[in-house]
Structure 1
Amino acid sequence: MTAFDRGLLGHRCWLELATGERVDLPVERWTAIPCDGDDVLLDACAGPTLDIGCGPGRLTAALTERGVASLGVDISATAVRLTHARGAVALRRDVFDRVPGEGRWRHVLLADGNIGIGGDPPRLLSRVAELIADGGTVLVELDPPGRGIRRDRVRLRPDDDGAWFTWAWVGVEAIAGLAARTAFRVSWSTRRGHRWFACLEKS
């Protein structure tokens, strides 16, 4: 269950870790128009782009408005509906299931920390390698330096369901080693304000 399906749009919500730690989620940024830092991702997409974990579709819609063919995928029916409302195309789909255009996407977006999907970044990047064309790129949003790679059990709060799932976080200093373990190499990394990004090229 996602923040969007639980009706938490416009409300404060966070991830509660098994340790009791709390990680606030920037739901307002996800549902707004593209903001500072998003241009790093958008400007790097010059061809067909797959937005994994598209949420309410701010990036998918922005690419569509720029004339870039794009498709959002998300496990949340509400997120897909919100993406459609922005005039963009999205499918309710788990990225590990069959995805249209496999092996032909020029770019893949893993924005807003979506490198953590499934709690296993090497597995996710290996799957992404199956989705993009040779020479394609993955645009990844990362945690600040010093975080390394972290995995934990989390649950969404406030949420009366409270189901636990696994998530991961990757610090910018860890992405080169992670890329080397899969099918990628880091072509660049950058910072915009408090946000960090990297571009991975399929080797």
Structure 2
Amino acid sequence: MTTGEETAYGPDGDPYALALLPGRAPVYLRLADGRRLRMPVHRWFASPTAADRTVLECCAGPVLDVGCGPGRLCRELLNRGVFALGVDIAPRAVALTTALGGLALCRSVFDRLPAESGWQTVLLIDGNIGIGGDPRGLLRRCAGLVSSTGRLVVEVDRRDVEEFCTARIEDVHGNSGPPFPWARLGRRALHGVAEDLDLDVTAQWTSGHRCFAALTHRAPAGTTGAAPRRER
């Protein structure tokens, strides 16, 4: 029962940590204006979907999966013979990833990470473009992690949105964890941020209800880059 006071949780007792237990009830992202967005927990634990496979097919190793959760993508890449490492700030997420055969570090993307500037692919999937509430800062950081020939693969909102907000993870009973900054970004806004950071959107596609884009470092002046691949 919600009392209006913030519930105190242990490290494995907050709604997000509980959501990482297979078979748990749904959890939501509660925004400051009252909107509630259901989080796709079922997808985190399932085999890669058709949309996920479109992402996996454009991953060249080594791959860094930012906000990996239980690690479905980095584990599948390893199964395909592509080296992949997940990073997540939740100890339970990292434990699940490794228990299921993946590789992961309990670390923020803004912490020091292995092989900086050496990753061929950096993934921001399942809404993780919202990490930290600052997509520009997040993409700048990820661009510093990827090699000069690598790419960022980003899932964006299917709506034309650019939203910066405060959110909480909430369970079905209305119990919520602490507030944190979050963001949502659609394709048009992503193009604007990429332009400011000297990144090129080299591909974008839709699979089902999910939308993705690939970004690379901008080619030096005087060179000819490939035109972005756009959906029909």
Query: TM-score, normalization: structure 2?
Result: 0.83
Give the distance between the partners of 1:81 and 1:3, measured in 2 at CA.
17
Q: Which amino acid aligns with 2:193?
A: L
The residue that corresponds to 1:97 in the other structure is 111
Distance in 2, matches of 1:124 and 1:29, equals: 24
- Over aligned residue pairs, what C-alpha RMSD do you find? 1.5
Asked if 2 retains the 8 angstrom alpha-carbon contact of 1:80 and 1:91, the reply is yes
Q: Structure 1 stretches of 5 or more lacking a match?
A: none
The structure that has the greater radius of gyration is 2
| Pairs within 5 Å for 1:3-18 | 3-7=15-19, 9=21, 10-18=24-32
Identity of aligned pairs, percent?
Answer: 45
Q: How far apart, CA to CA, are the structure 2 residues paired with 1:55 and 1:72?
A: 8
Cα drift, residue 160 of structure 1: 4.2
Q: Which stretch of structure 1 is more off in the superposition, 110-119 or 155-164?
A: 155-164
After superposition, where does 1:1-203 map in structure 2 within 5 Å?
3-7=15-19, 9=21, 10-147=24-161, 149-158=162-171, 160=175, 162-203=177-218
Unaligned 5+ runs, structure 2 = 1-10, 219-232
Q: Is the 8 A contact 2:160 2:185 kept in 1?
A: no
**8 Å contact 1:14–1:23 — kept in the other structure?**
yes
Q: TM-score, structure 1 length as denominator?
A: 0.95
Whole-Å separation in 2 of the counterparts to 1:7 and 1:137: 30
Aligned with 1:141: secondary structure?
A: strand
Q: Secondary structure at the match of 2:56?
A: helix
Match of 2:230 in 1: none
One-letter code aligned to 1:60? C
Q: What's the offset of the Cα at 1:7? A: 4.7
- Are the counterparts in 2 of residues 73 and 95 from structure 1 also a CA contact under 8 Å? yes
Deviation, structure 1 residue 11:
1.5
Query: In structure 1, what is the Cα distance between the partners aligned to 2:120 and 2:20?
Result: 33
Q: CA offsets per residue over residues 23-65 of structure 1, 9 Å max, x none?
A: 1101001111111200111000122000000000000000000
Contact 1:109/1:140, CA 8 A, preserved across alignment: yes
